[in-house]
Amino acid sequence: MDIVNIKGLTKKFGEFTAVDDIDFSIKEGEIYGLLGPNGAGKSTTINMICGLITTTKGFIEILGVDNQKYSNITKKNIGVVPQDIAVYEDLTCLENVKFFASLYGIKGKELKVKAEEALEFVGLSDKSKSYPASFSGGMKRRLNIACAIAHTPKLLIMDEPTVGIDPQSRNHILQSVKKLNERGCTIIYTTHYMEEVEAISTMISIIDHGKVIVTGTKEELKAIVTDKNTVEVTVIDGGVIKEEDLREIKGVTGVSINENIVKIDSLKEINNLDKIILYFTDNVIPIKNIENKVPDLETVFLTLTGRKLRD
Amino acid sequence: MNIISMIIKEVKHSFRDKKSMAMMILFPVALIVVLGAALKSDFTSNIDIGVPKVLYRIEAQGVVSDSFRSSFIEKGKDFKIEFTKMDDMDSAKKKVISSEYDAIIEMKSNNKIEFYKSGLESLKAGMVEGILSTYVQEFNVIMNISKVNPQIINSLLSDTNADYSTITSLNESAQPSSLDYYTIAEIALIIMYAGMTGLFGIASEKNLKTRDRILISPVKKYEFLIGKTIGGVICTILQIAIVILFSKYVLGANWGNDIFTVLLIFVSQIVMVISLGVALGFIFKNENVANGILNFMIPVMVFLGGSYMPVDGLGGKTFQAITYLSPVRWVNRSIFDVIYNNNYGKVPFTILINLGIAVIFLTIASLLFRKENV
């Protein structure tokens, strides 16, 4: 079942087209990554999905309901973690979460229970009576998430939720996203950090200049840009390696040696890694490191757009 | 439910904002104490407004007019009013216009009492009007009693000692002391600064990005606007209530016999000024510009309203007319009329002015909010 169905979505600000006729659909249970550089149109798309800004053209359906006509219905099923930390510094953690959850019609005991659960989920239950003014950036980000999930939305939209935080907090957030997804929450995750999308997304759309360039699983996207596998082997002495012997291994299409690093290209459909390793062990060439160099999403983006994600 | 959540949140914000609490509670208390003490001599035991001079004529004859003459006109000295009999209405009106006299009272042959005063507001005329309305109120009670038992009308009209209506504020010696005056005046002043509560209530939600977060939820724009406005009003009412209780029970300021009406006037002023602040929050993208405008407007309105010093009798007719452009003037004047003259004439108009201004500003805010593409 499609949780989100978008067709011909366009947003213009005056003469500037921020989102240009995009289509995509998100299935229930997916972690849908929207990857693109700053200014690509990710946040504008998100803002239209959550009803914060109007569309210029196009159609958005959330859980089978027209989002523009019946936003009061669709909004109840959406949680949004905004790009900017949007919490009140003079309300305690618990008060913040309770306030935002109350806007979704939750009240009384249920409100308190759900708010406490949300704080526990993000690891802030021991800080429920603390004021966010004293928090680190990472803790504020976690509170930002708690405020979006207390009402247990079916669709959670996370707009660059890890901007400007330490690796530990980032890791915590990414783990939280996976856990939420395991609980049945469909997630839209926008970022310009391709490692995050690679780590958690089950489906990815790459956006640039307001257009969806490509959509697919990460494997499908990587397959678009390469027809070969590259293995990089680091040895103690590269001088003893004979290139011609390596080229004789089935599937190998190219070998290059740069001091102690040997780069071996093979046809993508042939799995010959065991034979490559065997060559080194048979010839008693000690291996310091071996790495299967698959193209990352950065490469995909570079190939498709001619520029880097963080240009 | 959403509006209630918004209101509760606003109250929490306000009561945790030490700066706002100091400004809205400590500042007026300090002003009342300091100005009340420093300007005590200016008020002596009372504000000397002089003796109101009133022209009168009684055309009616009979027990009613006799009673009016004996229990109102002849008691002029007790009320500190100087009554002078008149013959000609036209020349009497000219005398009132030229400020030679303050008012005219005429009892027609059908016992109907007519009261004339200059179009320009005068404290003396207001005082006379208040006392007259009290007399008429008491007289009407007697007439109502006599409808049930016509036999006792003569005894009622000749009984000068009995009170047949609950007139408790008619007190010839009741005049505001400096403390009494500045209690009302400084509360009216500080309420004007509550405009900032409205303004920053809107601006801070924008700055904190929480406004978008609220609007992403199923909250409607009108709920947001109403929640912010009512929230601001309730916060200010609670803050002002503390000042009122302190002034009444600690400082011993006079709040008259009808504090409910006085509070009603203040509440209408709070609604007006919060709406003004909310509207400025939508009109100006830069809150500092809006704040600058508020900081310019408030002292002017407060000065014209008499919150820095009494403006009754200050300047000429033009200045007096200008003072009534300030809502603070209406608030102060109507409250003093209620407390000291038992005169409710200006109360509905003052409340209507305040609520009318509030409706205008809330409409502006609503239209601008609707136009915003969020």
Could A88 and B374 be called an inter-chain contact, meaning their C-beta atoms sit closer than 8 Å? no
Residue B66: other Cβ atoms inside 10 A: 14
Pair B131, B261 in one domain: no
How are strands ordered across the β-sheet holding A31-35? A78-81, A155-159, A186-191, A31-35, A203-208, A211-216
- Tokens (6 digits) for B204: 């801070």
Backbone torsions φ then ψ of A54, nearest 5 degrees: -80, 160
User: Apex CA B290: angle with CA B284 and CA B296, to 5°?
Assistant: 145
Instruction: Give chain B's mean pLDDT.
Output: 84
Question: Across the A/B interface, how many CB contacts are shorter than 8 Å?
Answer: 64
B19 CA to centre of own chain: 28
Question: Quick check: A90 and B1 CB within 8 A?
Answer: no
Residues of chain B contacting A88 with CB distance shorter than 8 Å? 9, 13, 208, 210
**Which residues fall within 8 angstroms of residue A69, CB to CB, at 6 or more apart?**
none
Least confident of A132-141, B93-102, B146-155: B146-155
pLDDT tens track for A107-121: 999 999 999 999 999
Q: What is the pLDDT of residue B278?
A: 95
Tokens 């016509």, residue? B150
- DSSP line for chain A: -EEEEEEEEEEEETTEEEEEEEEEEEETT-EEEEE--TTSSHHHHHHHHTTSS--SEEEEEETTEETTT-HHHHGGGEEEE-SS----TTS-HHHHHHHHHHTTT--HHHHHHHHHHHHHHTT-GGGTTS-GGG--HHHHHHHHHHHHHTT--SEEEEESTTTT--HHHHHHHHHHHHHHHHTT-EEEEEES-HHHHHHH-SEEEEEETTEEEEEE-HHHHHHHH-SEEEEEEEES-GGG--HHHHHTSTTEEEEEEETTEEEEEEETT---HHHHHHHHHHTT--EEEEEEE---HHHHHHHHHSS-TT-
CA angle B209, B212, B217 (to 5 degrees): 135
Whether A147 contacts chain B with CB within 8 A? yes
A16 in B contact zone (CB under 8 Å): no
Contact A144, A86 (CB under 8 A): yes
* Structural Rg of chain A based on CA atoms: 24
Residue A156, pLDDT score: 95
pLDDT band at B166 (very low <50, low <70, confident <90, very high): very low
Confidence label for B196 from pLDDT (cuts 50, 70 and 90): very high
Answer yes or no: is B164 within a domain.
no
Last residue of a domain, one of B158, B184, B215: B158
Angle at A44 between CA A39 and CA A47, to 5 degrees: 145
The answer on B62 and B33 residing in a single domain is no
- Is B331 in the same domain as B235? yes
Taking the CA of residue B97 and the nearest CA in chain A, the distance in Å comes to 59
Contacts made by residues B38-42, CB under 8 angstroms, sequence distance 24+: B39/B178, B39/B182, B39/B309, B40/B177, B40/B178, B40/B179, B42/B178
Report the amino acid identity of residue B35.
L
Same domain, B229 and B89: no
| A105 contacts B1? CB cut-off 8 A | yes
Which of B9, B12, B209 is facing A86, going by the closest CB pair?
A: B209
Rounded to a whole number of angstroms, the distance from the CA of A31 to the nearest CA of chain B is 21
Distance CA A212, CA A35 (A): 10
Q: Please list, in sequence order, all residues whose beta carbon lies within 8 angstroms of the beta carbon of residue B369, skipping any fewer than 6 positions away.
A: B221, B224, B225, B282
* Chain A residues within an 8 Å CB radius of B222: none
Interchain contact, B210 vs A76, CB within 8 Å: no
- The β-bridge partners of A81 are A158
Q: Across residues B67-71, what is the average pLDDT?
A: 81
Contact at CB, B215 and A87, closer than 8 angstroms: no
Residue B167 falls within a domain, yes or no? no
Write out chain A residues lying below 8 Å of B228, CB-based: none
Same domain, B93 and B128: yes
At residue A203, the pLDDT reads 94
Higher pLDDT: A159 or B174? It is: A159
Write down the pLDDT at residue A9.
95
List per-block mean pLDDT (blocks of 10 residues) for chain A, which spans 311 residues: 92 92 93 88 91 91 89 90 93 96 93 95 92 90 94 93 85 90 93 86 91 89 80 88 89 89 87 90 90 80 74 52
Q: What is the 3-state secondary structure (H, E, C) of chain B?
A: CHHHHHHHHHHHHHHHCHHHHHHHHHHHHHHHHHHHHHCHHHHCCCCCCCCCEEEEEECCCCHHHHHHHHHHHCCHHHHCCEEEECCCHHHHHHHHHCCCCCEEEEECCCCCEEEEECCCCCHHHHHHHHHHHHHHHHHHHHHHHHHHCHHHHHHHHHCCCCCCCCCCCCCCCCCCCHHHHHHHHHHHHHHHHCHHHHHHHHHHHHHCCHHHHHHHCCCCHHHHHHHHHHHHHHHHHHHHHHHHHHHHHHCCCCCCCCHHHHHHHHHHHHHHHHHHHHHHHHHCCCHHHHHHHHHHHHHHHHHHHCCCCCCCCCCCHHHHHHHCCCHHHHHHHHHHHHHHHCCCCCHHHHHHHHHHHHHHHHHHHHHHHHHCCC
Among the partner residues B12, B217, B373, nearest to A104 by beta-carbon distance = B217
Cβ–Cβ of A91/B5 closer than 8 Å?
A: no
What letter represents residue A287's amino acid?
I
The total number of residues shown for chain B amounts to 374
Same domain for B264 and B326?
yes
Tokens of B68: 């009016």
Contact, A208 vs A236, CB < 8 A? no
Half-sphere exposure of A237 (CA within 13 A, CB side): 5
Q: Which 178-197 residues of chain A touch chain B by CB within 8 A?
A: none
List the single residue in B209, B218, B220 with the smallest CB-CB distance to A104. Answer: B218
User: B-chain residues within 8 Å CB-CB of A12?
Assistant: none
Using a CB-CB cut-off of 8 Å, the residues of chain A touching B5 are 99, 102-103
Are residues A51 and A75 in contact, defined by beta-carbon separation less than 8 angstroms? Answer: yes
Please answer whether residues B124 and B47 qualify as being in contact, where contact means their C-beta atoms are separated by less than 8 angstroms: no
Question: Could you tell me which residues come within 8 angstroms of residue A14 by beta carbon, excluding any fewer than 6 positions away?
Answer: none
Q: What is the pLDDT of residues A21-71, one digit of tens each?
A: 999 999 999 999 998 888 889 989 999 998 888 899 999 999 999 988 888
For the ranges A16-30, B241-255, B301-315, B353-367, the lowest mean pLDDT is seen at B301-315
B158, B185, B208 - which closes a domain: B158
Contact B12 A53 (CB under 8 A): no
Residue-wise pLDDT for A94-105, tens only, equals: 999 999 999 999
Measured in whole angstroms, the distance separating CA B284 from the mean position of its chain's CA atoms is: 30
Q: For residues B109 and B241, state if they share a domain.
A: no
Q: Which residues of B touch A149 (CB under 8 A)?
A: none
Strands A2-13, A16-27: pairing is antiparallel
Q: Which of B11, B20, B213 to probe by mutation at the A interface, max A CB count within 10 Å? A: B213
Write out chain A residues lying below 8 Å of B216, CB-based.
Answer: 50-52, 75, 78, 80, 82
Residue B48 lies in a domain: no
How far is the CA of A163 from the CAs of A155, A179, A189, B216, in angstroms? 21, 20, 13, 21
Task: Among B125, B158, B191, identify where a domain stops.
Answer: B158
Q: Do B12 and A107 touch (CB under 8 A)?
A: no
- Give the pLDDT of residue A78: 93
Average pLDDT over residues B272-291: 93
Q: What's the pLDDT score for residue B1?
A: 72
Within 8 A of A105 by CB-CB distance, chain B residues are 1, 218
Based on the fold, state whether residues B148 and B216 are members of the same structural domain: no
Q: Which domain holds residue B212?
A: 2-43+176-371
Residue A163 contacts B, CB cutoff 8 Å: no
Domain-embedded: residue B170: no
Judge whether residue B49 has pLDDT over 70: no
According to the model, what pLDDT value does residue B20 have? 85
CA distance A120 to chain B (A): 21
Q: Is the same domain home to B136 and B206?
A: no
Cβ of residue A54 closer than 8 Å to a chain B Cβ: yes
CB contact under 8 A, A53 and B374: yes
Q: How far apart, in whole angstroms, are the C-alpha atoms of residue B165 and residue B134?
A: 9
CA distance B170 to chain A (A): 49
Q: Position of tokens 């009684």?
A: B58
Closest of B56, B68, B52 to residue B125, by C-alpha: B52
- Could you tell me how far CA A202 lies from the centroid of its own chain? 9
CB-based contact A105 B214, cutoff 8 Å: no
Question: Across residues B267-276, what is the average pLDDT?
Answer: 96
What φ, ψ does residue A78 adopt, rounded to 5°? -110, 140
Instruction: Provide the CATH number for the domain around residue B66.
Output: 3.40.190
Interface test with B, best of A12, A77, A78, A99 (most B CBs within 10 A): A99
Nearest to B170 by CA among B53, B342, B306: B342
What type of residue is A49? I
Q: Does B83 fall in a domain?
A: yes
Kindly tell me if the per-residue pLDDT of B121 is higher than 60. no
Nearest to A76 among B9, B13, B218 (CB): B218
Residue B44, pLDDT above cutoff 50: yes
Nearest CA-CA distance, residue A267 and chain B, Å? 49
Question: Can you give the pLDDT at residue A89?
Answer: 93
Q: What is the largest CA-CA distance in chain B?
A: 76
A158 neighbors A190 (Cβ within 8 angstroms): yes
Of all residues in chain B, the one with the smallest CA distance to A145 is B213
B216-244, pLDDT tens digit by residue?
Answer: 999 999 999 999 999 999 999 999 999 99
Q: How many domains does chain B have?
A: 2
A80 contacts in chain B (CB < 8 Å): 213, 216
Q: Which residues contact B90 (CB under 8 A, 6 or more apart)?
A: none
Ordered structural domains, chain A, with CATH: 2-223 (3.40.50.300), 227-293 (3.30.70.980)
At residue B171, does pLDDT exceed 60?
no
Q: Is residue B197, in this structure, part of any structural domain at all?
A: yes
Residue B198 has pLDDT above 70, yes or no: yes
pLDDT at residue B159 tops 70: no
Question: Which chain B residue shows the shortest CA-CA distance from A99?
Answer: B5
Residues B193 and B288 in one domain: yes
Q: Which of A84, A85, A103 sits opposite B2 (nearest CB)?
A: A103
Q: Rounded mean pLDDT of B176-201?
A: 91
* Both structure tokens of A187: 């997630």
CA of A98: which chain B residue's CA is closest?
B5
Q: Do B121 and B97 reside in the same domain of the chain?
A: yes
Question: Which residues of chain A lie closer than 8 angstroms to B217, CB-CB?
Answer: 75, 100, 103-104
For residue A311, the model assigns a pLDDT of 52
Nearest by CB to residue B216, choosing from A51, A95, A102, is A51
Same domain for B180 and B134? no
Q: Which residue of B has its CA nearest to A95?
A: B9
Average pLDDT, integer, range B25-48: 76
